[in-house]
Chains A and B, each alone.
Chain A
Amino acid sequence: MSLPLLLGLPVILLAVGIHAVTTSRRSHRSHWIYGATLIVCVIALGLALASLLMDPTPATLTLPLGLPWLGAHFRLDALAAFFLVVVNLGGAVASLFALGYGQHESAPGRVLPFFPAFLAGMNLVLLADDAFTFLFAWEFMSLSSWALVMAHHQEPANSRAGYLYLVMACFGTLALLLAFGLLAGSDGAYDFAAIRAGQATPGLAALALVLALIGAGSKAGLVPLHVWLPLAHPAAPSHVSALMSGVMTKVAVYGFVRIVFDLLGEPVAWWWGGLVLALGGVTAVLGVLYALMQHDLKRLLAYHTVENIGIIFIGLGLALAFQANQMYTSAALALTAALFHILNHSLFKSLLFLGAGAVLTATGERDMERLGGLIHPMPWTALAFLLGAAAISALPPLNGFVSEWLTFQAILLSPELPQWLLKFLAPAVGALLALSAALAAACFVKAFGITFLGRPRSPAAAQAQETDRYSLWALFILAGLCLLAGILPGLVVDSLAPVVGLLNGSARLVTQHDQPWLTLVPVADVKSSYNGLLVLLFMAFSGAVAAFLIHRLASSAVRRGPAWDCGFPEASPTTQYTAGSFAQPIRRVFGSVVFQARERVMMPPPGDLRPARFEVKLRDPIWEHGYAPIANAVVAASSRFNYLQYLTIRHYLSLVFGALVILLLGMALWR
């Protein structure tokens, strides 16, 4: 049975972390640590895959830890197994990448101990089967990732990011804690089995849903709880950023799915789905719009995480809506789409962050305005990054497209929903989804084009070198997986089936692998079908034929010369489009509404030789109207009450006296 083994592995990871603390003097230890995490993650990956594909029957285990009268319950079912696959795949690749990347780490003593601990925390969250163990692992995960974010604490920005991150994490944990308290009842039946058995009243269930949405959403980065994410994820070392963005957010989604789909059982009210759906749509569009405004590569990627979380939640919301109306086949489609996108996003977001890390080590730059032309010195990194960018932009035949296609198919089933609001909401959200997909494509044309194409904008970019082989291996493993998942979606869908069945009253999609040519047919082949494999083959065929014929029959000669550029000779690299200028049209179309974007050109007076200045002002409405007021209120209140520290003894005596008199009066009146 693989559950005990899977439980043993986090313990090994923790031991590795402790070993990292004790041997923090040696130089070669980063190889040692990352090698160990790599091996452990690979083993865990294998076990999880085995239990997902071979026997998804739940296995439970209870250890005499945690709450004494409860013990620590652990459970390995299809859902946990799937997420274990996601987590440990990401962990393994990140470790492999770090084998090379970790050499450049400036403060290894602040990374090595916490990296294994972080992995262990995520694994434990997935295995936990009672509220206490779950939150314990959850908070431990937040804590270790916080330590990793604080690794380069000497930049004030990172310190601020870490602070905001941990406070938001604590906020989310409190919300989850309240949700569990609600579900467990006053006599503290904290193990999930009891919670499943107990039926919550509709009101309580709705409250629990909202709390779970707040708790898990704040960790996953749902708008408007996302503010910490684009600050914290880039602040960490890149392989950690990959884990946080690609994997930890998925663990957060797991928390939501576990509570809402598994513990709460049937959704009682249709508006649950509407709520989640609307939140998802808003999150998707706002996330990508934020991303378009960035010129810091890693922050751009972090904002895209927000967008993809939105897409995932769209799928989940649809599933809730369908389940509330007992349309289980449709719900199965929506759930499959969401889960598929979870897998995909973990793949390409890790890939992209690792690529950004490679760029960072090669140039020491995260600011795209100072990069450019990297495709020449580092072609392989560029190729991998390009694949990731194409995948996240939902371009066929890569994997990102498949999951978004499935989501669209699920939306197309929404007219069967009886509720009017949902009828109207679904296509609107579909429009938002389409918009975010298109904007994502624009954003990644910008990200890849400005970073890798064109001519170098800074000496650092000009002198870049290709990264080490470990990193390249990591990048290309992920890229290959993106392609595989894109052209063989049917197999992935089939392996997701047990998870869907678990969450969906044992209703699941039709098995795909016996379709002709491995076509993906979610509902029925008269309705819709897609075959990534054939698309790839056709494209390869036609492209190859064209190339062959042209080179054979027509010319294959090439001459190099200066760029023509409508006859402007030898323009300096500064005349290229920058990230800001590339985003300018979209900023004018969307940003002026959302961010109150203001552009100002400051022309020096004639005769003045200073260059003209162009500046853009963006304002973050969510921060300004959501968070700043709270912070100000706390500061104001604490300043308001601060004088109580500086009273004279007489005043303190009168406080005691007042308390006494009030209580006595209360007594007198109470009788």
Chain B
Amino acid sequence: MHGLAFDIAHLLAGGMVVVSFLLLYQVRLFALINVFALHSLVLVLAVGWQATIQEAHHLYVTAGIALIFKAILIPTALHRIVRRLGIHRTLEVVGGVGLNMLAGAALVALAILVMLPVTTTADVLAREDLAFALAVVLLGLWLMVIRHNAVSLVIGFMSLENGLVLAAAGARGMPLAVEISIAFSVLIALIVIGVFLFRIRERFDSVDMQAMDSFREGRRR
């Protein structure tokens, strides 16, 4: 394992974390979608690089899937949905942006704290990727937590799954079954979400989930 390859892998993985921070930072929906596309793009690069240095060619497939679906198709689809629903106004964020960034930093620290001492035996590359992947996962979850809006929720979830893909790619020789399942899951996830957004629009004017949250046993009785 020569240093340059390691550095590049490290750089790309770290890049994903940075982009996740950007996701946290965005307050406008379109910008959020675009940044997510960027996020997926970085993922593609990272996975591709893993494929080259591991000589694991199935990872190219993964990279391709990620590129097509997450970097191109889904963002455009989301653009259309947002436009259709007419919700391209600034979306409210729970708590200040700065506060969220700070929490995000804490999460990254936590990820590294948990991961670094752990995988002392596994090879360095996997460990680094894993640490960053965990950070991305946590940041995605954090994004889901701090946003009200359905679309941004979906985006948060998918950024989380990007983190998973990164981790899977980092795991040396992980069978193809998993990647396929991921892609598969993402596909289904999109379909279901699309269905949902569609139905939701049938019934509500906004995709704002608090509108949906207001139909519950307690409120009904």
Contacts and interface: CB of A to CB of B under 8 A. Distances in A.
A648 B210 contact: yes
B94 A650 contact: yes
Contacts of A646: 216-219
A649 B213 contact: yes
Given A661-B110, A665-B110, A668-B110, A648 B209 contact: yes
Interface residues of B, number: 22
A526 interface: no
A552 interface: no
Given A645-B218, A650-B145, A665-B110, A671 B117 contact: yes
A645 B218 CA distance: 8
Contacts of A656: 141
Contact of A667 (B94, B114, B138): B114
B114 A648 contact: no
A654 B213 CA distance: 15
| B-side interface mostly | helix
Nearest to B219: A646
Contacts of B94: 650
A102 B131 CA distance: 77
A553 interface: no
Contact of B148 (A647, A650, A657): A650
B145 A654 contact: yes
B133 interface: no
B209 A664 contact: no
A667 to B, nearest CB: 6
B91 to A, nearest CB: 13
B218 A657 contact: no
A660 interface: yes
Contacts of A665: 110
Interface in B165-221: 209-210, 213, 216-219
A657 B142 contact: yes
A450 to B, nearest CB: 49
B160 to A, nearest CB: 11
Interface residues of A, number: 18
Given A645-B217, A645-B218, A653 B145 contact: yes
Given A646-B216, A646-B218, A653 B144 contact: yes
Nearest to B157: A653
B113 A668 contact: yes
Interface in B109-130: 110, 113-114, 117
Nearest to B150: A649
B103 to A, nearest CB: 10
A648 B94 CA distance: 13
Contacts of A653: 141, 144-145
A654 B94 CA distance: 12
Interface in A530-575: none
Contacts of A664: 110, 114
Interface in B125-165: 138, 141-142, 144-148, 153
B145 A657 contact: yes
B71 to A, nearest CB: 25
Contacts of B213: 647-649
Given A650-B94, A661-B110, A664-B114, A645 B141 contact: no
A664 B116 CA distance: 13
Given A645-B216, A645-B217, A648-B213, A660 B114 contact: no
B84 to A, nearest CB: 22
A661 B144 CA distance: 15
A525 to B, nearest CB: 76
A665 B147 CA distance: 24
A93 B146 CA distance: 73
Nearest to A664: B114
B156 to A, nearest CB: 9
Interface string A628-671: 00000000000000100111111001101100110011011001
Interface string B15-30: 0000000000000000
B219 A657 contact: no
Contacts of A654: 145
Contacts of A648: 209-210, 213
Nearest to A654: B145
A499 B219 CA distance: 64
A660 B141 contact: yes
A646 B145 CA distance: 17
A270 to B, nearest CB: 57
A471 to B, nearest CB: 51
A665 B209 CA distance: 30
Interface in B70-125: 94, 107, 110, 113-114, 117
Most B CB within 10 A of own CB, among A656, A657, A671: A657
Nearest to B112: A668
Nearest to B213: A648
Contacts of B146: 650
9 contacts: A646-B216, A648-B213, A650-B148, A657-B144, A660-B141, A661-B107, A661-B138, A664-B110, A668-B113
3 A-B pairs closest in CB distance:
A648-B213, A646-B218, A654-B145
Interface of B: 94, 107, 110, 113-114, 117, 138, 141-142, 144-148, 153, 209-210, 213, 216-219
Given A650-B94, A650-B146, A668-B110, 14 more contacts: A642-B218, A645-B216, A645-B218, A646-B219, A648-B210, A650-B144, A650-B145, A650-B209, A653-B144, A653-B145, A654-B145, A657-B141, A661-B107, A661-B138
